[in-house]
Each structure stands twice: as structure tokens, then as C-alpha cells.
Amino acid sequence: MPSIVVVGSLHYDIIVAGPRLPRLGETLPGSAWESKCGGKGGNQAVAAARQGSAVSMVGCVGGDDMGVQLLDNLRAAGVGTRHVRTGPSASGLSLVISEPAGDYAAVIVSGANQDLDESDLGDAEAAIAASSVLLLQNEIPDAVNLAAARRARAAGSRVILNAAPARPPVTALYRLVDVLVVNAVEAEMLGADPVTDLASARRAASLLSDRAPVVIVTAGGDGVAIHSDAYQGALMPHPVRVVSTHGAGDAFVGALAARLAAGDGLPEAVAWANATAALIVSTEEHARGALRDEDTRRLLDAQA
């Protein structure tokens, strides 16, 4: 079974449904709220496990009820938690405000995610060395990402970096990355021109190709652009009714990692991830946990 190690963040999400994003100093009445387990690392680990991969998580939670729920959520999805440590800080938290059209904005409080350090990789070294793919994001300290990437590269594992949220790139880390995944905002913050459509996404992927051998720019409802030495292309979005875009990027990255770990070629893996993300945005939060790889296959077959 394809093996993936995710070194990354775990956040407890509180999602508020509002009429729109409030202006500075404004208070708006919301219509509903719900909580769920998230964090880019946790979300991507769960997404990859739902695609049939054997996934291990390396992370840190607090010794609080939120930490218990975060661990239980990973285990329920089949993600290994042996290398998730309980640290001294409170668990990470994310506050999300979701608009009726499906767009959202979020603020994260890192909490225990910042307790993660290079020593946590020691116990996980064997798992990283045996993995097909190491999956990283930007919600944990740079030093941990760099140390994990070095271990994976030394073992011959493929390194995927979802550079989200955007922050100044660490040159030493990018030299170890095989696949870089960014959205429109992150592409611009890494130096590309604004991404406003699929054509500009393709230009951004090309411009950022000095950062990694493979660059993927997700442009939401405009599609996905791909650039590598062997392949340059783009995929249109699937025509689905958007319920919420929250979590779509993580579903894309998790599915991409799963298919690359399974041996798919780049175009096939991106097409699969694109369809998986389409299912997520068109499914209510409470029903997403039931989605599996066979649902992605049915969508691809239906629109072939």
C-alpha cells in the first residue's frame, strides 16, 4: 500500500456562516456555526487516507479536549498517530467565516503546532525513510519542514510542499522540494503576477518553475495549471454547485499525494485531485467524511 508521511499542522476549526466578511470594526449577525477537526496537515492526511493510502502523521497537539478530538479524528480516518506529540501549549485553533457563495476567510492561532521541533522527527525517521511521499505545508516551523525534507530526500522519498499559508520561501527547503502546490494568492506572494484566470495561472506556474521541478497552481473556479520539464498543461474545473470552498485545497493536495504515491503520472494525479476537490466544494461539511476514492472515480467517469 502506498505510504505517505505528513509532517504538519493540526487545528480545531470553528466555522461561522455569515452574510459576508465583516468590515473592520463591524459586527455582523451570523446564521450558524459548527466545529470540525482541521489544520492543513491534518486535513491533507485525512484526505490521502480516504484515497486509500497508508498515512502517518507527525504533529503536535495540546493536552486539552481539542487535542483529544484532533487525535480521534485522525484515527477514525485511518491515519497513524504514533508520532503526534502532546505539547505544553494549547491546541491550534482556526476561526473561519464562510460566505453564502462558498468563499471564506480564516485566522489561525498556531498554539501547539509551534511546539513541534526537529527532535520530533527522530522517532518518525524510520517512517519517513520508508515512505513514498513526504507531505509538508507552511503551518509549522520552517526548521522542521527543512529537517523532514532532508530526511526524505536522503531516503529517496518524493517531497511535496503545499506552500500555504504563504510566507517568505526558505531557499534550502525549496531545493529539496519535488512538487510545489500553491493557490492564486500564494503564487502571487511567491513572486508571480496576479492569477485571475487559467491563462494567468499557467504563466504563474511557469514563472515559479525555478522553485521546484513540478509546480501546480490551483486557481479555484478557473481550474488548475501544471508546469514541469516534461509536461505543461491545465485542467478546467468540474461544473458543480459550490456549497463551500473551505477545505478544497487540502483535499486536492491530499488526493494528489495519494495518487503520486500510488504511481500515477503527473497529469493523471492532478486530474484525480481536481475531481476530488470538486466533490468537496459541492458537498456539505457534515457529509464530506463519507467521500472516498470511488466517488472521485464516478465523477471522472461521468464527465469523461
How many CB atoms neighbour CB 69 within 10 A?
A: 17
First and final CA of the chain: distance in angstroms? 27
How many CB atoms neighbour CB 48 within 10 A?
A: 30
> Which residues participate in catalysis according to the annotation?
250
Burial class (CB in 10 A: 0-12, 13-18, 19+), 274: buried
Within 13 Å of residue 3, how many CA atoms lie on the same side as its CB? 12
Cα separation, 282 vs 287, whole angstroms: 10
Whose CA is closest to 7, among 174, 215, 146?
146
**What is the three-class DSSP state of 241?**
coil
The alpha carbon dihedral of 260, 266, 270, 271 has a sign of: negative
Cis before 165 (ω within 30)? yes
Cα separation, 272 vs 252, whole angstroms: 8
Q: Take residue 259 and report the three cell numbers written for it.
A: 495518487
How many CB atoms neighbour CB 252 within 10 A?
A: 27
How many CB atoms neighbour CB 136 within 10 A?
A: 27
Q: Would you say 59 and 137 are in contact if contact means Cβ atoms under 8 Å apart?
A: no
